[in-house]
């Protein structure tokens, strides 16, 4: 026989707060679909947030990507489709602040999906940093092309070993050079100084 049950005030409050908490969003992994380096904004798919009507991961447009740094002191890198990011919703509406710097909230929304910012800091165990990207005692900056000082850098940085090699060529030519009038036999090298090659890195530029 079924028993009649009338929920009490405590039950109703528990149900109310549970439903409200389910609507509160927290940090979640996402994946970059496209990235605009001019605005530092990305199109991001939320991996654990699915549209209830389509069953497809929710995709957000113009998500601000947060790189470490500030004006004149930055560390940035390109983001490619498929790169993972950590998506963090702001506690309050930040849309107006992003446009004007005005901290007045445009709405009373809390932890809303429209206020997500992305941090390119999250990865799975299947895609850890490689051995060439980490060092137990040194800070490692890696990449196929690294620019120091500004994005306008075009001059490749010289490497000590390459400079020493070029100086060695000059020394070797100087060591065998002689002039007419000196014993035993006057000899002039076919090349007094061999052609020099660029003693520069192929991946690091600086201003």
The model's pTM is 0.72
pLDDT tens, residue by residue, 159-192: 888 888 888 888 887 777 666 555 555 555 556 6
Q: Which of 12 and 43 is assigned the larger pLDDT?
A: 43
Identify the three-state secondary structure at position 26. coil
Report how far apart, in Å, the C-alpha atoms of 27 and of each of 47, 110, 111, 131, 187 are.
11, 13, 10, 28, 76
Q: What is the pLDDT of residues 77-120, one digit of tens each?
A: 999 999 999 999 988 888 888 888 887 766 777 788 888 999 99
Q: What is the residue-wise DSSP string for 9-55?
A: HHHHHHHHHHHHHHH----EEEEEEEEETTTTEEEEEEEEEE-TTT-
End-to-end CA distance of the chain: 84
Rounded CA gap, 150 and 131, in Å?
Answer: 27
Residue 79: predicted pLDDT: 95
Residues spanned by CATH 2.40.50.230 within the chain? 27-125
φ, ψ (nearest 5 deg) of residue 69 = 125, 180
CATH class of 27-125: mainly beta
Other Cβ atoms less than 10 A from the Cβ of 172: the count is 13
Q: Which pLDDT tens digit goes with each residue over 110-168? A: 788 888 999 998 888 888 888 889 999 888 888 889 998 889 999 999 888 888 888 88
9 pLDDT above the threshold of 80: no
* Closest among 66, 62, 89 to 76, alpha carbons compared: 66
């Amino acid at each position: 026989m079924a028993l009649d049950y009338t929920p009490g005030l405590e039950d109703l409050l528990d149900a109310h707060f549970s439903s409200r908490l389910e609507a509160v969003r927290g940090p979640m992994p996402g994946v970059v679909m496209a990235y605009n380096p001019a605005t530092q904004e990305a199109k991001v798919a939320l991996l654990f947030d699915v549209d209830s009507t389509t069953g497809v991961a929710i995709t957000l447009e113009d998500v601000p990507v947060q790189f470490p740094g500030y004006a004149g002191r930055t560390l940035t890198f390109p983001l490619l489709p498929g790169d993972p990011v950590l998506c963090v919703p702001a506690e309050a509406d930040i849309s107006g602040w992003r446009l004007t710097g005005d901290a007045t909230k445009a709405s009373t929304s809390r932890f809303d999906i429209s206020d997500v910012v992305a941090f390119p800091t999250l990865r799975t165990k299947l895609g850890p940093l490689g051995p060439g990207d980490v060092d137990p005692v040194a800070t490692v900056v890696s990449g196929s092309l690294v620019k120091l000082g500004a994005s306008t850098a075009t001059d490749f940085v010289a490497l000590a070993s390459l400079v020493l090699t070029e100086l060695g060529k000059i020394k070797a030519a100087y060591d065998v050079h002689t002039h007419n009038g000196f014993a035993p036999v006057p000899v002039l090298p076919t090349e007094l100084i061999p052609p020099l090659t660029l003693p520069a890195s192929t991946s690091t530029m600086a201003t």
